[in-house]
Amino acid sequence: MRAFVVTGPGRSGVQDLPEPVAAPGQVVVEITRVGVCGTDVEFFTGDMAYLGSGHAAYPIRLGHEWAGRVVATAADVDQGWLGRRVTGDTMLGCGRCARCRAGRQHVCEERYELGIRGGFAGALAERMAIPASSLHALPDTVDDMTGALVEPGGNALRAVWASGVEPGERLLVLGPGTIGLLAGLLARALGAEVHLAGRSERSRAFASSLGFAVSTVDALPPGPWDGVIDATNAPGMPALAVELVEPGRKVAYIGLSTTPSLVDSRDLLLKDVTATGILSGSPGLAGTIERYASGAVDPRPLVAATVGLAEVTDVLAGRRPGGAGAGPKFHVDPRR
């Protein structure tokens, strides 16, 4: 089968690899759509922290935002999965430790991360083997494009939950990239009043086209901000989030800077602010599928273009395909 492999910083391409086989507990999925994420770009540039920590190494097959159809199962897997359209969790825990048994496999010390950590091959391929325990069925009202937006949506939904905003309250989202926009859409569906702040004129214009109130950080309207989500990679934003949020309320951190981000614990304490970090979308995947399936949230406008495997290198290098829309997300159809 054809698969996209990164072999080193700036080095990547399509390779012919052996067909995957479902090991015990696994299924084989024919991949219909894959999202390209900022984490994938960091692997392509060599900046991904896991490369330095030893949790990941080249060569690596990326792809952790995906949708597909089950085409084979191991003998010990429920045969009812055959033919079903699915997406799946990125975080593959050991299944034995206390964290996994408590449903927190996304922080299992021995976890694999699909296409990211531990050498578990990702979805940028025609087919992929994956544990059946990580699957989530997609209803007919969730198409392939939307299905491949479930994983980032799960992250965004957890950030909205962590911000603590209720209907009618005001949420500030720092960073109108994919996660920030999804958080805005999900919070707006909840009934919150959402404002997005960003540096890029293009990203602000796109957020405005989705009906959001938008500004730069320097031109924010007056508060109060009942919750703040930092979805940026700027090291100064975590401290700003604490500064802007109402006393006694919550901030959620889902952006990740490549350099240390400093937050003064005195500011948290003296404002009685709760700060939550969001590592993964795992606990939010089912809720995201429900919101997509009901039509409460339609994330598809975020996808600027869908390309084939041979064009992934260009996307990772920051080159926008001809005819791409204004959205921040690019998808891959491995069948092309």
CATH number of the CATH domain containing 191: 3.40.50.720
Indicate the pairing of strand 170-174 with strand 193-197. Answer: parallel
What is the model's pLDDT at position 258?
Answer: 79
- With b meaning 16 or more CB within 10 Å and e meaning fewer, what string describes 175-200? bbbbbbbbbbbbbbbbebebbbbbee
From first to last of its 336 residues, the chain has per-residue pLDDT tens of 999 999 999 999 999 999 999 999 999 999 999 999 999 999 999 999 999 999 999 999 999 999 999 999 999 999 999 999 999 999 999 999 999 999 999 999 999 999 999 999 999 999 999 999 999 999 999 999 999 999 999 999 999 999 999 999 999 999 999 999 999 999 999 999 999 999 999 999 999 999 999 999 999 999 999 999 999 999 999 999 999 999 999 999 999 887 899 999 999 999 999 999 999 999 999 999 999 999 999 999 999 999 999 999 999 999 999 999 999 999 999 999
DSSP structural state of residue 332 = E
- CA-based angle 114:12:41, to the nearest 5? 55
Asked whether residue 283 is domain-assigned, the answer is no
What is the separation, in whole angstroms, between the first and last Cα of the chain? 12
Could you tell me if 180 and 253 lie in one domain? Answer: yes
What is the model's pLDDT at position 124?
Answer: 98
Q: Which of 72, 53, 56 is nearest to 64 (CA)?
A: 56
Could you tell me if 111 and 208 lie in one domain? Answer: no
Could you tell me if 195 and 230 lie in one domain? Answer: yes
Q: Which of 128, 152, 123 is nearest to 62 (CA)?
A: 123
- The residue type found at 26 is Q
The contacts of residue 227 (CB under 8 Å, 6+ apart) are 163, 164, 165, 169, 170, 171, 172, 192, 245, 249, 250, 251, 252
Provide the 10 A C-beta neighbour count for residue 166.
11
Asked whether residue 294 is domain-assigned, the answer is no
Asked whether residue 289 is domain-assigned, the answer is no
Could you tell me if 268 and 216 lie in one domain? Answer: yes
Q: Structural domain of residue 186, as residue ranges?
A: 153-277
DSSP annotation string for 64-84? -EEEEEEEEE-TTS-GGGTT-
What is the model's pLDDT at position 330?
Answer: 98
Could you tell me if 211 and 265 lie in one domain? Answer: yes
Could you tell me if 22 and 116 lie in one domain? Answer: yes
| DSSP bridge partners of 70 | 29
Domain count, the chain: 2
Could you tell me if 38 and 144 lie in one domain? Answer: yes
Asked whether residue 208 is domain-assigned, the answer is yes
Each residue's pLDDT tens digit, 296-333: 999 999 999 999 999 999 999 999 999 999 999 999 99
Are 129 and 317 a contacting pair, CB within 8 Å?
no
Could you tell me if 63 and 191 lie in one domain? Answer: no
H/E stretch holding 87: strand 85-88
What is the model's pLDDT at position 257?
Answer: 86
Q: How far is it, in rounded angstroms, from Cα 270 to Cα 272?
A: 6
What is the model's pLDDT at position 259?
Answer: 86
Asked whether residue 121 is domain-assigned, the answer is yes
The contacts of residue 216 (CB under 8 Å, 6+ apart) are 197, 198, 199, 204
Asked whether residue 284 is domain-assigned, the answer is no
CATH number of the CATH domain containing 21: 3.90.180.10
Q: Which of 261, 241, 267 is nearest to 252 (CA)?
A: 241
Asked whether residue 286 is domain-assigned, the answer is no
Could you tell me if 131 and 28 lie in one domain? Answer: yes
Could you tell me if 49 and 82 lie in one domain? Answer: yes
What is the model's pLDDT at position 335?
Answer: 96
Could you tell me if 100 and 176 lie in one domain? Answer: no
CA–chain centroid gap for 40, Å, is 11
Could you tell me if 116 and 61 lie in one domain? Answer: yes
pTM of the model: 0.97
